[in-house]
Amino acid sequence: MNEIRSNTELPSVREEIELHTEDGQILVGELSTPVGSAPVATLITLHPLPTHGGFMDSHLFRKMANRLPHQLSVAVFRFNTRGTQSPRGQSTGQFDGGVSEKFDVAAAVKFCQDRGLPRLWLVGWSFGTELAIKYGPDHAIEGAILLSPPLHRATSEDLERWNQCPAQLIALVPELDEFLNPAEAALRFAVVPKIKLQAFDGEKHLWVGEQATRRVFDAIAEAVVPGSAPLPTFY
C-alpha cells in the first residue's frame, strides 16, 4: 500500500467544463466523478481570492478533486470565477469583489442541477466563503461548508438569511487564522444559531500540510456522508 500524499491522484473520471453565466461570461472548470458508479453527493467549490492567487487549483480543491471522488464517491466540481486564470484556462470577465460573482455561483449550481448531480453542497474557502454565505440561500443546496471564513464581505444581513434557509451551514475555523479566529467567529456567526462551528487547533488560514488537509477532508466527509470519516490515509 502507498500513503496518500500531496500529489496523490486517485482514480476518477475528469471532464473539462465551460459554464455560461446569465450576464454573458464563460467560466472554465472541471468535473470529477467516481469511476463506475454514480456520485452520492456533489461538492461545488468556490475558490479563494483571485487577486491574491486563488483559483480552482488552490491546493485543497485540487486535492479534493484528486481524492474524494474515489474515497467518498462524490462529484467534485471546480471552476474559475470571472477573470480568474489557472492551468485549465481563464474565465472571461473581471473580478467584481463578490458582486457579479453571484452569476458565477448560479451558473455552477445550474450546471450541476442540469446534469442531475445529487445533494449539492457549496464548499467555499476564504473569499469563496463570502460567495457561499451571500448566495447559498438563493439555491436548492443541501448545505454550505466554509473553510477559513474571513467575513470581510458577507454582512450580518447575509448571515441572517440562513435562518430562513433549510440548508445546513458549517464553518471550519483555524485557531491561528489571522482574519477570523474561533472566538471571533463565534461572535460574528451568533446571528445564525443553527451554524455548526468547528475550531481547529494549531491550523492557519491556508491549511498548509497533509495533516491540515486530512483534517479538512475528514470534516467534509462527516458532514456530507455521515459515518465516512476518518478517510483512509493509504491506497
Please work out, in degrees rounded to the nearest 5, the angle formed at the alpha carbon of residue 100 by the alpha carbons of 94 and 104: 90
Contacts of 36 (CB under 8 A, 6+ apart): none
Whether residue 233 is contained in a domain is answered as no
159-185: pLDDT as tens digits: 999 999 999 999 999 999 999 999 999
CATH number at residue 30: 3.40.50.1820
Q: Quote the domain boundaries for residue 69.
A: 13-224
Whether residue 46 is contained in a domain is answered as yes
87-109: pLDDT as tens digits: 999 999 999 999 999 999 999 99
Does pTM surpass 0.95?
yes
Q: 26-33 and 75-79 as β-strands: parallel, antiparallel, unpaired? A: antiparallel
Q: Where are the beta strands (DSSP E) in the chain?
A: 13-20, 26-33, 42-46, 75-79, 85-86, 89-90, 120-125, 143-147, 168-174, 196-200
Whole-number CA gyration radius for the chain: 16
Number of domains in the chain: 1
